[in-house]
Amino acid sequence: MSIQKSINEVLEHLFEGYQSNPTAIFDITEVIKEQNPTQDPNEFGTLLLNHGYIKNQQYRPTGFVCQISINGIEKIAPSYLNDKIEKVVSTLGISGGQGSIMEILEFEDKNFQAAFDIVKYMENRGFIKQGIYHHNDIIIELSLSGKEYFDKNKASFN
């Protein structure tokens, strides 16, 4: 099996876990061993880390645990991020430019980590200004680039 296919399988496993619990770390040892029984999980984990696909990694004698990073999500499930960005930009564009990420995405408190990840992603790409962080919520505001993106795409948001 190709390395790329193994990477995709592991990232899919991590993304499924992330969707159910964005703060949990997941053991990827079994997924790696299913792909290639001779592959060292710690070495494979290092490969994922070097690509920026994972975070909060832990090397263990019996395996490797980690979380998927926003770059990993972008690789394996770009529509997840695109859908969230479009919802946030369209909501903020219609409402005047500022709001709660948790309300916009209709997230419960348990999904705060996912909201945090999405905010960081959007800040890094210039869609929103620096968020105002509160306990279990982030107030966000469209940046000039975010407003421009909204204006260019508002017909497709409806």
How does pLDDT run across 99-152, given as a tens digit for each residue? 999 999 999 999 999 999 999 999 999 999 999 999 899 999 999 999 999 999
Q: How many angstroms separate the Cα of 108 from the Cα of each of 18, 20, 60, 61?
A: 14, 12, 32, 36
Is the pLDDT at 61 greater than 70, yes or no?
A: yes
Q: Are 1 and 66 in contact (CB under 8 A)?
A: no
* Structure letter (DSSP) for residue 2: -
Ranges of H-type helices in the chain: 3-20, 29-35, 41-51, 70-76, 78-95, 101-104, 112-124, 144-157
pLDDT on residue 119: 96
Mean pLDDT of 87-104: 93
- pLDDT tens readout for residues 42-60: 999 999 999 999 999 999 9
pLDDT confidence band for 97 (50 / 70 / 90): confident
